[in-house]
Amino acid sequence: MGYEAVLFDLDGTLVDSLDDIAAACNFARSRRGLLPQPRETLRSFVGDGARWLVARSFGLRADEPKDSEALDDAMRDFREFYRAHPADHAVVAPGAAAMLTQLAPLPMAVVTNKSRALAVALLEATALLAHFRVVRGGGDGALKPAPDLLVSAMAAMGVSPSRTVMVGDGHQDLDAGRAAGCVTVAVRGGFGSDASLEACAPDFTLARLAELPALLRL
């Protein structure tokens, strides 16, 4: 198959941003006299957007009205810290920069549950932004696993879903890709567990991002 475009998740796929996310979350916890949570605990909370991340850290629910006031308050501190420190410890995934250069003949987009402004800040800080024609994030539509952000990105690039690849490290990415009609590619070693990726039955599974050009025959 000749592919027309590639969509990428950001956190855990292109960039390991967990230390910065954890620092922001633990800053919000410290403001309330709570002990910091371990990195690996917070890893399990990532994937559904910042509001669900913070809610889980505080034992709240983002869809529970009675929790909204406390969650709004915690989110203010999380955002304050993260906006000031979006990429202090961020590390580009091994081989990602070279892989993106190799895929340059294809239009590419980032589709993330992170806010678009923070996604752009992270991509700029890691020198990856220039590779992407489109960035879609929180505020641009319903978050993954809904397909809205993917559909919006594909429309902006003028490409067809059946010839577009969605690459991600979490079940949200793969479920969104399938719902949007894309070819789905799981990448191990990110924030999602291997078991959760396998449960999604992706079209392809890679051990490393560097394997993607060969898969796409580029």
Question: Hunting for tokens 């993917």 — which residue is that?
Answer: 150
CB 8 within 8 A of CB 167: yes
Alpha helices in the chain (DSSP H): 18-30, 39-43, 50-57, 68-84, 96-102, 116-125, 148-157, 171-180, 194-199, 212-216
Whether residue 9 lies in the annotated active site? yes
| Closest of 163, 146, 170, 139 to residue 45, by C-alpha | 170
Exposed, middle or buried: residue 66 (CB in 10 Å: 0-12, 13-18, 19+)?
Answer: exposed
**Which of 9, 20, 77, 175 is the catalytic position?**
9
Catalytic residues: 9
